[in-house]
Amino acid sequence: MEAGGVPVSPVRPPAHQLRDGLVTDFFAYAGLFASALVAATIFPMQSEAVLVGLLVAGAQPAVALVTVASVGNVLGSLVNWWLGRQVDRFRGRSWFPASDFALDRAASWYRRYGRWSLLLSWMPIVGDPLTVVAGILKEPLPTFLLLVTLAKVGRYVLLTAGTLSLT
């Protein structure tokens, strides 16, 4: 096509802008993944704040952000489950992600409500010890992954929907 006798070519950003955009996207997704993974352990981290920040900043697609956050958070919970399976080897060490009090409280919840309590694994304070207790009490891995994934994905989907509806 021509505009006023001058050939028009599609506008493409220079290669360095494409590369810089890919690098920025990589670090945004990597940061979200890392924050979600760490947040699923007892370490203080707010993956929700990172996700909301990326959504408000216009990072897209939202489905990819929810997926990255969910995978990181579920893997962090899987670390807790594994630590629970190894509790006799690790209990009492300074880096172990739950105190005896938190484990006893979570075990009480777990015994009372059973595996369905894993649907609360997204909650602050009680969610992380529940995933450790699931390992201690030998919850089968497939059941653990199914329930924890439902809880974690559901939380991020609701958070994303709420954020996008407000922006």
- Integer Cα distance of 58 and 62 in angstroms: 9
* pLDDT of the residue at 22: 64
**19, pLDDT greater than 80:** no
In sequence order, which residues have a C-beta less than 8 Å from that of residue 127 and are 6 or more positions away?
Answer: 120, 121, 151
Q: Is the pTM of this model over 0.85?
A: no
Region 113-132: mean pLDDT is 91
pLDDT at 20: 55
The residue that leads in pLDDT, 10 or 50, is 50
Residues 133 and 103 sit within 8 Å (Cβ to Cβ): yes
The mean of the pLDDT values for the chain is: 85
Sign of the torsion formed by the C-alpha atoms of 96, 98, 101 and 103:
negative
Angle between helix 141-166 and 47-56 (nearest 10): 40
What does the pLDDT read at residue 16?
46
Question: At a CB cut-off of 8 Å and minimum separation 6, what does 107 contact?
Answer: 133, 136, 137
Confidence bin at 100 (pLDDT 50/70/90): confident
